[in-house]
Amino acid sequence: MNIGIIGAGHIGSALAVRLTGLGHKVYIANSRGPETLMDVAQKTGATPVTVEEAARRGTNLIVVTIPLKNIPDLPKDLFAGVPAEVPVIDTCNYYPLLRDGRIPELESGSLTESEWVQQHLGRPVVKVFNNIHAEHIVTRALPAGTPGRIALPVASDDDAAKQKVMALVEELGFDAVDGGNLHASWRYQPGTPAYGEYKPADKLREYLADLGMERTEAQHAEFRANHTRQEQEFLKQMQQSGGAE
């Protein structure tokens, strides 16, 4: 496949390593231009390109993996020429205290994080790889049927795109579990038990079913509070180690 990756940080690079290893052609972009991506190219085997080229040359799949707050900075017509059948993966998470600032729709819970991204991109997205640490994309991949293989939820409003991405998740070494539509993807956002805690496929399906599809006010409050605590704890650790003001 020809795959465009927009974002060449932890997740973009980890995906690039695995995808080139599987024989796919990967085009990777950051905000500063291809000339700043020579190291990434060497480490991953991906071809550095501009953001526009990543969208144009990713003829089978595009991955958007940048800080959530930067989504509105992407070119407005980025996906104008991209055929509807090309899935667009969104890996973004909302970190209001550490990185993104407060976004009203995500604070109120009127939109899930990927619904917000989808609105800004003007294009259906598939939510996956947001609840796995970047390095584990490389180190925890296992062949199908191996005990201990991690399951990853995949959600989208576009069923055809979701099926294609689920097949790729399996190829990458993880069990793909249908996470429903994007409105139900709150179930594996930051602050939930499925964020950063890996489950096998049967347990993940059970977990998703137990929560239901529609987020209640109480669930939103509980998971936001968990995430706020985690962000505050992280900030404290950074301050103690002299890493933040």
Ligand X SMILES: NC(=O)c1ccc[n+]([C@@H]2O[C@H](COP(=O)([O-])OP(=O)(O)OC[C@H]3O[C@@H](n4cnc5c(N)ncnc54)[C@H](OP(=O)(O)O)[C@@H]3O)[C@@H](O)[C@H]2O)c1
Contact set with ligand X (CB under 6 A): 6-12, 29-32, 51, 65-68, 70, 73-74, 91-93, 130, 133-134
Nearer to ligand X, 25 or 120 (CB): 120
* Nearer to ligand X (CB atom), residue 80 or residue 160: 80
- Give least dist CB 8 to ligand X, A: 4
Closest CB to ligand X among 8 and 182? 8
CB of 157 to ligand X, least distance (A): 20
The DSSP annotation for 97-134 comes to IIII---HHHHHTSS-HHHHHHHHHTS--EE-SSSS-H
Q: Specify whether the CB–CB gap between 84 and 157 falls below 8 A.
A: no
235 exposure class (CB count in 10 Å sphere: 0-12, 13-18, 19+): middle
Query: Quick one: 11 or 182, whose CB is closer to ligand X?
Result: 11
Q: How far is the CB of 15 from ligand X (least distance, A)?
A: 9
Nearer to ligand X, 19 or 74 (CB): 74
**Residue 65 Cβ vs ligand X, minimum distance, rounded to whole Å:** 4
Nearer Cβ to ligand X (100/175) = 100
Q: Which residue number, 2 or 50, has a Cβ lying nearer to ligand X?
A: 50
Nearest Cα residue to 82 out of 127, 121, 30, 24 = 121
Q: Compute the least distance from the CB of residue 145 to ligand X, in Å.
A: 26
Which residue in the shown chain puts its C-beta closest to ligand X? 9
- Closest distance to ligand X from the beta carbon of 100 (Å): 8
Going through the chain in order, the beta strands assigned E by DSSP cover 2-6, 25-29, 47-48, 61-64, 88-90, 126-127, 151-156, 175-178
Q: How far is the CB of 129 from ligand X (least distance, A)?
A: 6
